[in-house]
């Protein structure tokens, strides 16, 4: 029988190699996952505001050239600040809902289910038509969008 000599250096090399492989897998996963979110966001923004470019600030998207809010038809709307709607349970009924200015998934869920924390039901039912910010932190809905409301 051959006897093997293992030194502490062999164990350290094994641990370092394992950590390197884990870091490589993590970086690869993040790279490909990030591209999917950006791709989905780009598709939604193209559908929402085709050909429009702008600057996102604390008061919404504005056109760089004219300083007007994007996607609005009248100058009265350009000076309007965003304000969340204040729905109560039962205010929205039916299998679908057309988003209005000021709506959020939370507010819509409050109107449909009586509990805003159930907004994820609406998100899941409309996953193909709701976009996200590039960092994935915010679901994007827009006025005129028709959402399916699961029961």
The predicted-structure confidence for 34-55, as pLDDT tens digits, reads as follows 655 545 544 444 444 444 455 5
- 89 and 76 within one domain: no
Does the residue 135 lie in any domain?
yes
Q: How confident is the model at residue 63 (pLDDT cuts 50, 70, 90)?
A: very low
Residue 3 lies in a domain: no
Higher pLDDT among residues 31 and 110, named by residue: 110
Torsion region of 80: left, alpha or beta (phi above 0 gives left; psi -120 to 50 gives alpha): beta
Residues 39 and 57 in one domain: no
Cα angle 69, 116, 33 (rounded to 5 degrees) comes to 70
The reported pTM is 0.47
**Together in a domain, 142 and 92:** yes
Q: What radius of gyration do the chain's Cα atoms show? A: 24
If asked whether residues 111 and 37 sit together in one domain, one would say: yes
Has residue 142 been placed in a domain? yes
Higher pLDDT pick, 5 / 7: 7
Which residue range forms the structural domain that includes residue 60? 51-82
Q: Which two tokens stand for residue 61?
A: 């998207």
Pick the range with the lowest mean pLDDT from 6-20, 31-45, 62-76: 62-76
**Which residues, in sequence order, are bridge partners of residue 69?**
62
What pLDDT is stored for residue 47 in this prediction?
Answer: 45
Q: Are residues 66 and 132 in the same domain?
A: no
Q: How many domains does the chain have?
A: 2
Element housing 14 (H / E): helix 8-48
**Is residue 1 in some structural domain?**
no
Mean pLDDT of 25-33: 83
Give the dihedral of Cα atoms 124, 125, 126, 130; nearest 10 deg: -20
Same domain, 144 and 97: yes
Determine the average pLDDT of the residues in 108-130: 91
State how far the Cα of 18 lies from the Cα of 52, in Å rounded to an integer.
48
């Amino acid at each position: 029988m051959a006897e093997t000599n293992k030194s502490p250096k062999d164990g350290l090399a094994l641990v370092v190699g394992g950590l390197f492989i884990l870091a490589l897998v993590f970086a690869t996963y993040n790279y490909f996952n990030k591209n999917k979110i950006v791709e989905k966001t780009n598709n939604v923004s193209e559908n929402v505001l085709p050909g429009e470019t702008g600057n996102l600030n604390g008061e919404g998207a504005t056109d760089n050239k004219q300083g007007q809010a994007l996607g609005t038809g009248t100058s009265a709307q350009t000076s309007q600040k965003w304000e969340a709607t204040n729905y109560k349970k039962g205010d929205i009924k039916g299998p679908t809902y057309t988003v209005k200015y000021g709506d959020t998934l939370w507010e819509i869920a409050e109107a449909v289910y009586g509990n805003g924390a159930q907004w994820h039901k609406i998100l899941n039912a409309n996953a193909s038509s709701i976009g996200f910010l590039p960092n994935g932190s915010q679901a994007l809905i827009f006025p005129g969008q028709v959402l399916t409301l699961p029961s």
